[in-house]
C-alpha cells in the first residue's frame, strides 16, 4: 500500500512530535509538513500554552501564536532544544534543498542555533542527486539585478520569485529570492564556494541549501518500523562524527533501494 503524500506527512509529524517534551523550546520550521506537525502537537498535548518556540518565519510565528504557543525572539542565551522543519529535496548523500517556502535564511539561522534538528521529508522529496527542485537563493535587495547576472553565470536557469499577484516576493528579511536550476553533475562544494564569491548572495542562505549534513544521524531504523510503506526519512543532527554519517549514508542509500 502506498500512502498519500499527506498521510506520509502526518506520519512524519506524529513521529517528530514524539520527540517533543513539555517545557521544551522548539525551533519551528515553515511549510505544510510543519503545519501538520503543529496540529499534531495540539493533539498530543491538548493545551500548547507551556510550549515555547523560536519561529523560522512570520508565517510560523503567526500560526503558533494563534494556538497559544509562546513565540520568542532569538536571544543570546536562548538555544532551541530541537528544531523541527521540512525539506524540499534530500539527496542520498544527505545534501538538502530548503527554502521552497521562502524562509531559508531564518530557517538556517534557527537550525544553526538549535541543539538538535529533525527534518521531515516524505518520499516525494527523496532524490539521488539534488536539482529536480529549483535551488532558492536569498539575494540582498540592493543591486539584485547585478546579482542576477552573476547567478546566470553559474546556473542554467535563474528566475526571481514573485507573489501570486506578480510582485517581486520579499522575504521576512526584506531580501528577494532567485530560484536556480542546478546543472547536472555539479559539485555541491564548488557551487557553495562560487556562490560565496557573489556579494549580493546571502552566504548563510546559500549554505542553508547546500550544506552537506555530514554530522547527521538518522532515526531511520526506528522510523522504518513505523512507516514501513513510506520512503520518508527523518534526520536529526547533533554534532556527531563523520564516521557515524557514513553509516547513515549507507542506510539511506539502502533505504532508497540503491
For the bound state, the minimum distance from the C-beta of residue 1 to ligand 5RP, rounded and expressed in Å, comes to 22
Asked whether the beta carbons of 5 and 121 are under 8 A apart, the reply is no
For the bound state, the minimum distance from the C-beta of residue 84 to ligand 5RP, rounded and expressed in Å, comes to 10
- Compute the C-alpha angle 202/37/228, nearest 5°: 105
Give the count of beta carbons closer than 10 Å to the beta carbon of residue 102.
Answer: 23
For the bound state, the minimum distance from the C-beta of residue 153 to ligand 5RP, rounded and expressed in Å, comes to 25
For the bound state, the minimum distance from the C-beta of residue 247 to ligand 5RP, rounded and expressed in Å, comes to 25
Binding residues for ligand 5RP, per CB under 6 A?
A: 29-33, 85-88, 98-104, 107
* Rg of the chain on CA atoms, in Å: 18
Q: Write down the H helix ranges in 56-117.
A: 58-66, 104-112
Nearer to ligand 5RP, 90 or 248 (CB): 90
Question: How large is the angle between the packed helices 32-45 and 5-17, nearest 10 degrees?
Answer: 50
Nearer to ligand 5RP, 53 or 104 (CB): 104
The closest alpha carbon to 29, from 44, 47, 41, belongs to 41
Nearest-angstrom CA–CA distance, 229 and 143: 48
Nearer to ligand 5RP, 101 or 200 (CB): 101
Helix (H) or strand (E) holding 244: helix 242-255
Known active-site residue 107: yes
Nearest-angstrom CA–CA distance, 253 and 140: 37
For the bound state, the minimum distance from the C-beta of residue 202 to ligand 5RP, rounded and expressed in Å, comes to 14
Nearer to ligand 5RP, 160 or 244 (CB): 160
Antiparallel, parallel or unpaired: β 89-91 and 82-86: unpaired
Nearest-angstrom CA–CA distance, 153 and 250: 34
Q: Which residues pair with 97 in a beta bridge?
A: 89
Nearer to ligand 5RP, 55 or 99 (CB): 99
The catalytic position among 107, 138, 211, 236 is 107
Nearer to ligand 5RP, 103 or 110 (CB): 103
Antiparallel, parallel or unpaired: β 135-139 and 96-97: unpaired
For the bound state, the minimum distance from the C-beta of residue 166 to ligand 5RP, rounded and expressed in Å, comes to 21
Which residues are the active-site residues? 107
Amino acid at each position: 500500500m502506498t500512502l498519500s503524500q499527506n498521510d506520509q506527512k502526518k506520519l512524519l509529524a506524529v513521529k517528530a512530535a514524539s520527540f517533543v517534551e513539555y517545557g521544551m523550546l522548539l525551533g519551528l520550521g515553515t511549510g505544510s509538513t510543519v503545519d501538520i506537525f503543529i496540529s499534531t502537537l495540539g493533539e498530543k498535548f491538548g493545551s500548547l500554552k507551556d510550549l515555547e518556540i523560536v519561529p523560522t518565519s512570520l508565517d510560523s510565528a503567526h500560526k503558533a501564536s494563534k494556538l497559544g504557543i509562546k513565540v520568542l525572539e532569538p536571544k543570546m542565551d536562548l538555544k532551541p532544544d530541537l528544531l523541527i522543519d521540512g525539506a524540499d529535496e534530500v539527496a542520498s548523500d544527505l545534501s538538502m534543498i530548503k527554502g521552497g517556502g521562502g524562509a531559508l535564511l531564518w530557517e538556517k539561522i534557527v537550525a544553526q542555533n538549535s541543539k538538535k534538528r529533525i527534518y521531515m521529508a516524505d518520499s516525494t522529496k527523496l532524490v539521488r542527486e539534488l536539482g529536480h527542485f529549483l535551488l532558492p537563493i536569498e539575494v540582498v535587495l540592493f543591486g539584485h539585478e547585478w546579482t542576477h547576472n552573476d547567478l546566470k553565470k553559474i546556473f542554467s536557469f535563474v528566475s526571481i520569485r514573485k507573489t501570486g499577484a506578480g510582485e517581486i516576493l520579499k522575504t521576512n528579511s526584506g531580501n528577494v529570492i532567485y530560484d536556480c536550476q542546478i546543472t547536472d553533475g555539479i559539485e555541491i562544494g564548488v557551487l557553495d564556494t562560487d556562490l560565496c564569491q557573489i556579494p549580493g548572495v546571502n552566504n548563510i542562505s546559500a549554505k542553508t541549501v547546500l550544506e552537506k549534513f555530514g554530522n547527521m544521524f538518522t532515526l531511520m531504523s526506528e522510523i522504518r518500523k513505523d512507516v514501513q510503506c513510506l520512503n520518508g526519512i527523518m534526520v536529526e543532527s547533533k554534532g556527531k562524527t563523520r564516521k557515524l554519517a557514513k553509516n547513515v549514508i549507507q542506510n539511506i542509500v539502502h533505504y532508497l533501494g540503491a
